[in-house]
Structure 1
Amino acid sequence: MDYLYPLLNNPLHNVYSTLAALIFLGLLGGYLAKLIHLPSISGNIIAGMFLGPVFGIVNTNSSYMTSQLEPIANLAFSLIAISIGSHLKFKLLHNSIRRILVIALVQAIVVPLVCFVGIYATQVFLGVSHSPLEIALCLAVFSIATAPATVVHMVKESQAKGMFVKTLLAVVVLNNVSNIIIFEVCKEWMLGGGGQSLLPVFSKLFGSLALGACIAVSLVFLRTRIFSKKKEAIFSFAALMIAFGLAIELELSPALTNLTVGVFLANFSDRNQILDVFEDFEELIYSLFFTLTGAHATFNNLQTVGVLCFAYMFFRLVGNMLCLYISGRLTPLPRRVYKYLGMSLLPQGGITVGLIVALETMSSNDLISNVLTPVILLSVTITEIIGPVILRLSLNRSGEAGRANPRLIDFIQEEFITIESRKRSKQEIIIELVDFLFKTHPLKIADKINFLQSVLKREKDSSTGVGKGVAIPHGSLNSDIKTMGVMAILQHPLDWDSLDGKQVSVIILIASPVGKPQQHLKALSAISSLFLNRDSAARNLKEAKTAGDVYEIIADEDFESLNELVLEEQV
């Protein structure tokens, strides 16, 4: 092994060999981590630590190397921001927006407050620093954000989908936005000596939102009129870098700008291919970013930094758990959200690292470079190693891991469930459910009338009331779609000419593609079995107060056994 000694503790000075080492060993670390059932992110970070602080092969403290690798980090930072912003889809949050906003707002208040008090008390009690107030305040500002790349990556890796995942992703988007806003406000106030007007800060924030919106709208417009599909990836990549570059040139927030781009593309673009093109190089960029994060880790001044780091992580966790407790008192929280969301918000990464680096470059204060930056980087390193493991456990225990696979009755999600509190006739209910279906699914409005007529005709030919208070009206669409549908719980049951003569309180509207009768019949059979073979199902659903309650009832293991997996070609 003597031939390795010249390499170890001898930093690479060539940016190309450094980049090659980061990519190769990062991907290798991710692959080895998967072999022992750890998240690939953990392997990336550990590989980076071996390259950086352990063996010193990659010197991330070199100003030359930092400047050469900065474009790569910026690209990853931009991609992370766009990716997490793209998960905030408004039409999927229509019946959960109150829950998500309450959690995000309470978190933005409670977590920094708990961290400030806890970290300040820890420093005073242990006497580990000479500036306890400033350190506690700065760390409190960074405490809100959750690592968006880690959450997105783990959700994809676990193929998770459901109410918990939807809430987690939306809360992560909002807590990153709130962290960026609070950071910008506090940064300008602190650098200005505490007396600077906050008007320029809010102008900067609104400017970032406007720039992101303009770039997203321009991307959609130009893509559909000028650029071919072959050039789509190139142009999307260029738009990503333009957003970051313009934000810097205009002294705006690059993170908030790219978050806005992602949100606009997800909600105002008719086609998802604009976001999908990033997936071609997403794994490589993420692996490189997390390997760089590990390489930036520092082990200097471990006594002070270590104490502050563990205090910071502990009080962040306490703050997030307290946030859920308070949120649960303000609005109903589904069981799986209440139990698993707090721990899932532990990881910190890209946004946090980007903000602390931005603060360090704007200020020459030794407190930032000697204490705050090492504490944040060490915390990020630790939480990015243990956080993905905890997150995977939460996804598994919430019962939502693996549900992103194609499923026969995949449409029974919280966003496709409504509670009807007013009295309606059969026809009025069918019309409202058809409207609800076209509102929550990517269907052409021009097909609505034909679909409604097919549902009413089927109902006229024979009642779709299957018994035990359940009706399954259905129709066909002349589109290449998968089986989809919506569900309504009626607080005032109505007559449906059911087979058993009972009134209906649970209605599931199904839309199936013409020419795929097997898929249609399987969906009808599975739904009928769910309710007809389990007397408690319909009875429990009648007592549900929210769409989240309904999802909790039906998304159990017995239901999953009926929710047969289907192949892509069947969809």
Structure 2
Amino acid sequence: MAIDFSPDHVLYQLALVLVAGIIGGEIFGQLRLPKVTGWIATGILIRATTGHHTAITGLTSHSVQDFAPYMSFVLGYIAFTVGAALHFASLRNSGRRLGMLLLGEAVFTPAVVTFLMIFVGRMIAPDEMTMRAGILLAAIAIAGAPGTTILVVQEARARGILTRTLVAAVALIDMVAVGAFAFVSSYLAEGGAGGEAWHSTWSTAVVSVGREFGLAFCVGALSAGIALVLSRTLVSPAFLGPTMVAVILGSWGGASGLNVSGILACTFAGIVVSNLRHDVVRSAEAYLHSIGGVLFAAFYTFAGMNLDFSLVMNAAGLVVLYFLARFLGKYVGAFTAMSLADVPPRVRNYLGLALVPHGGVAVGLILIVQSDPRLSDSAQLVTTVGLAALAINQLVGPSGARFALFKAGEAGKDHPRLLDFLDEHHITVDVSGKSKDDVIRTLSAQLYNTQDRPTIPQDEFVQKVFEREALASTCLSQGLMVPHAILDSGQEITGILGISSEGLDLGAPDGHPVHAVLLLATPESDRNRHLEVLAAFARAITRDINLREQLYHARSAAHAYDVLHAEAAEDINYFLEDAMERHA
């Protein structure tokens, strides 16, 4: 029986790409560089050498096209996951800085890129650089790299205000990029910015953006809605993960059929699922986590094969200019936005660097320019400069993001800590009330608006807190009050911290005004941690005047979080594994 060995089989090629990517990622990991950078570099190397080894591997520079459905699924999964991070109740305290950041991305990045590419770019290549090409490149520059960013965050095991802002922002930034590109491409396609027909109407461009977002939302919301109905009626909990995979496939496929962005559709699907039934998102993430390494290693190796590094030499001056212009726009925009949002300095100084990675959305927008005959006059330059600069960004961007996480002090902070339940959306400043009852009711309402709420009805919880308070005041010394209730059900402690810089007259035994009210809901099974929290807060507030003053006068929930989770606060917010070792 003859053996028909064909290196052209897609599964054989997928195996080769996957193994090569894994090896490249491990090598870069040994060099203390992000594995995603190694995957991308491996893809670039494979593309550069395919001409010499096609007889063995079957790979060519066009092989990536055979894996388009696979690439679309992984990109859709990334978009769904990032959209799921936009759980609105959990972002209650992040709205101002996210809004300022999106405004900065929509204004500073395209403005800086447009100015430098048109005025400086024309000095470098006067015959090639046009205003139309500069505007298109500026819109593409807004896009980030959600998948790369999330992988770097996971690899760095990061947690904190910068990390939270970064993960929430990358999906929104890509949505801004798609909207800006839809507007700009529609405007230019009608003859604007140097075209023959200056009659291009702004209304046409606005309608194009509305259509893109409207249809993408309808597709994503419909897919998510059908899945949620099925999960409540027919689908068992064991199949929630596969059902969410179907949501991703359906959202991307439906969007493609309507000729709108699959990335937007999957992002909207993630947002809808997360905000209507957040526990389902966790099921999907857990389901795909076991094969996440396979998905991402192959995906980013293929992404590297899309990027012809030899393009850098064809337009080296413009490529370097575009890379630097985008970096400058990202950094200045983020720095300005975070300054206006009054975030901690370490977030303000390093967020722009963490936003440098450039990824799949940019590639998709460049391909749209290539395929639109109305933009043919700019297609070659946009493709050459855009892809070459993106190749550089893909190689250095992940390292820059990882460096930012380390410099901000958030890397390696995902280990369980005593006060993990007090993340930013479980902290509120400027709490007010004329009595203990008023304060407790206000904080209870805010606690029940978060994702991690107690397992009993709100009124019942408030009554339990009142009953405990009637037994003995929970006002401790030096402005601290810790009202709480022990619950019969639940797995982990939760709570909310209210801060008043002016102080509340709640009849504390020592006569001091109350500046911090820590409302706790503790299940019976987590009573030991409850006692640890009480002891840690009491020690910190009474012994550390610096921490006390910083916490009592925090300007925002982000600043309060920064105080409690900083290295200087490890005596109060220690790693639980360290405590276990001490008690062993």
CA deviation map 1:375-434 (0-9, x unaligned)? 222222222222222211211222222332222211222211112354421111011112
Match for 1:152 among 147, 150, 158? 150
Match for 2:302 among 289, 292, 302? 292
CA deviation map 1:463-499 (0-9, x unaligned)? 2222111112221222232122111112442344545
Partner of 1:25: 20
Match for 1:334 among 344, 360, 366? 344
Partner of 1:114: 112
Aligned CA distance change for structure 1 residues 204 and 299 (closer, same or farther; 3 Å): closer
Partner of 1:178: 176
Indicate if the aligned counterparts of 1:152 and 1:169 stay in contact, CA closer than 8 A.
yes
SS of equivalent residue, structure 2 residue 253: helix
For residues 483 and 158 of structure 1, what CA distance do their matches in structure 2 show?
A: 27
Match for 1:273 among 271, 283, 293? 283
Aligned CA distance change for structure 1 residues 46 and 523 (closer, same or farther; 3 Å): same
For residues 368 and 233 of structure 1, what CA distance do their matches in structure 2 show?
A: 43
Partner of 1:398: 408
Moved more, 232-241 or 425-434: 232-241
TM-score calculated relative to the size of structure 1: 0.91
Match for 2:427 among 400, 417, 421? 417
Partner of 2:260: 252
For residues 64 and 278 of structure 2, what CA distance do their matches in structure 1 show?
A: 39
Partner of 2:269: 261
Partner of 1:361: 371
SS of equivalent residue, structure 1 residue 562: coil
For residues 129 and 547 of structure 2, what CA distance do their matches in structure 1 show?
A: 59
For residues 476 and 274 of structure 1, what CA distance do their matches in structure 2 show?
A: 32
Aligned CA distance change for structure 1 residues 358 and 275 (closer, same or farther; 3 Å): farther
SS of equivalent residue, structure 2 residue 223: helix
Q: Does 1:352 align with 2:347?
A: no
Deviation at 1:239, TM superposition (A): 2.3
CA deviation map 1:344-401 (0-9, x unaligned)? 1100011111221233233486665543223222222222222222211211222222
CA deviation map 1:438-486 (0-9, x unaligned)? 2113335743233222322222222222211111222122223212211
For residues 526 and 455 of structure 2, what CA distance do their matches in structure 1 show?
A: 22
SS of equivalent residue, structure 1 residue 466: coil
Residue 44 of structure 1 aligns to which amino acid in structure 2? Answer: W
SS of equivalent residue, structure 2 residue 260: coil
Moved more, 459-468 or 99-108: 459-468
Unaligned runs of 5+ in 1: 1-10
Aligned CA distance change for structure 1 residues 328 and 166 (closer, same or farther; 3 Å): closer
Residue 560 of structure 2 aligns to which amino acid in structure 1? Answer: V
Q: Does 1:435 align with 2:437?
A: no
Partner of 1:238: 246
CA deviation map 1:138-174 (0-9, x unaligned)? 1101011110001111112222222111211222122
Deviation at 1:212, TM superposition (A): 0.9
For residues 576 and 343 of structure 2, what CA distance do their matches in structure 1 show?
A: 32
Q: Does 1:15 align with 2:10?
A: yes
For residues 471 and 64 of structure 2, what CA distance do their matches in structure 1 show?
A: 72
Residue 262 of structure 1 aligns to which amino acid in structure 2? Answer: G
Q: Tell me the C-alpha RMSD between the 2 structures.
A: 2.4
For residues 401 and 312 of structure 2, what CA distance do their matches in structure 1 show?
A: 27
For residues 112 and 239 of structure 1, what CA distance do their matches in structure 2 show?
A: 33
For residues 77 and 370 of structure 1, what CA distance do their matches in structure 2 show?
A: 25
Aligned CA distance change for structure 1 residues 210 and 445 (closer, same or farther; 3 Å): farther
For residues 451 and 49 of structure 2, what CA distance do their matches in structure 1 show?
A: 51
Give 1:200-219 correspondences, 5 Å limit: 200-219=208-227
Residue 478 of structure 2 aligns to which amino acid in structure 1? Answer: K
Partner of 2:197: none
Partner of 1:562: 572
For residues 222 and 216 of structure 1, what CA distance do their matches in structure 2 show?
A: 10
Unaligned runs of 5+ in 2: 1-5, 193-199
Residue 115 of structure 2 aligns to which amino acid in structure 1? Answer: V
Partner of 2:41: 46
Moved more, 143-152 or 91-100: 91-100
Aligned CA distance change for structure 1 residues 498 and 371 (closer, same or farther; 3 Å): same
Residue 20 of structure 2 aligns to which amino acid in structure 1? Answer: L
Moved more, 400-409 or 163-172: 400-409
Deviation at 1:247, TM superposition (A): 0.8
Deviation at 1:329, TM superposition (A): 5.5
For residues 311 and 162 of structure 2, what CA distance do their matches in structure 1 show?
A: 40
Q: Does 1:374 align with 2:384?
A: yes
Indicate if the aligned counterparts of 1:129 and 1:304 stay in contact, CA closer than 8 A.
no
Aligned CA distance change for structure 1 residues 274 and 66 (closer, same or farther; 3 Å): closer
CA deviation map 1:68-108 (0-9, x unaligned)? 21111111221121121111121122122012101111211
Give 1:61-210 correspondences, 5 Å limit: 61-62=61-62, 65-127=63-125, 129-194=127-192, 195=200, 197-198=204-205, 199-210=207-218
